[in-house]
């Protein structure tokens, strides 16, 4: 993924979470709107961004590696 050149937390979230998945602000507005109807006072939506690296060494040399 390209480095993000901004200090704006909302832009970082958009670039990390929205762009790769095709989400838009309107999708969140709609989801929260549905949650808040029918007597619900508050609602939260959580997102998670995870990267994982794994390296396997044998005799000081990289034998295997993975990234996701």
Residue 3 has what pLDDT?
Answer: 62
Question: Residue 21 falls within a domain, yes or no?
Answer: yes
Number of compact structural domains in the chain: 1
Residue 2 has what pLDDT?
Answer: 55
For residues 31 and 45, the answer to whether their CB atoms sit within 8 Å is yes
Tens digits of residue pLDDT in 1-56: 456 778 898 888 888 889 988 999 899 899 888 888 878 888 888 888 888 999 99
Residue 34 has what pLDDT?
Answer: 87
Residue 7 has what pLDDT?
Answer: 87
Give the global pTM: 0.52
Domain hosting residue 20, numbered range: 9-67
Residue 47 has what pLDDT?
Answer: 86
Which tokens is 13 given?
């979230």
Question: Residue 3 falls within a domain, yes or no?
Answer: no
């Amino acid at each position: 993924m390209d480095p993000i050149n901004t200090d704006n937390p909302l832009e970082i979230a958009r670039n990390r979470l929205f762009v790769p998945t095709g989400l838009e602000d309107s999708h969140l507005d709609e989801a929260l709107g549905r949650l808040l109807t029918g007597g619900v006072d508050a609602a939260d939506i959580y997102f998670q961004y995870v990267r994982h690296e794994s390296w396997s060494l044998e005799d000081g040399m990289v034998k295997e590696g993975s990234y996701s």
